[in-house]
Amino acid sequence: MFKSKISRRRLLGSAVAAGGATAFFGPWKHNRVYAASTDKPIRIGLTADASGQYANSGASDRRGMIMAIDEANARGGVLGRKIEYVHIDTETTPATGSRVAERMITREECGFLIGALSSGVANAIG
């Protein structure tokens, strides 16, 4: 009887080579993603603290985010869409942070939220 010894390394190497060659075909023209509408701006919710324990840090955080948004808008926005922001104070309390996040998503129609310096507020928003 003939016993063939195939090592685990050789088996895995050939499987990876075969799978890698067939799995990725590269980016094609039809895979491009374009903005849905350049008329409607992207809305971002800023959850930086304006009062409470982290008020000073929150003010600096908010100024930095606004500067970055203004720079992006000066370069033409994101995918041709301008960026708008909405800021509401979370008061460094998890309950208020949760209400603010819900309001920004439902009423203000923010695409995503950034900020939340306090870990308690960040956990409540998450």
**Residue 107: both structure tokens together:** 């009423």
**Residue 54: both structure tokens together:** 């982290």
How far apart are alpha carbons 49 and 116 in whole angstroms? 7
Q: Quote the mean pLDDT of the chain.
A: 82
Is residue 34 predicted with pLDDT exceeding 80? Answer: no
Which overall architecture, per CATH, does domain 42-125 show? Answer: 3-Layer(aba) Sandwich (3.40)
Using only C-alpha atoms, the chain has a radius of gyration, in whole angstroms, of: 24
Mean pLDDT of the region 26-37: 57
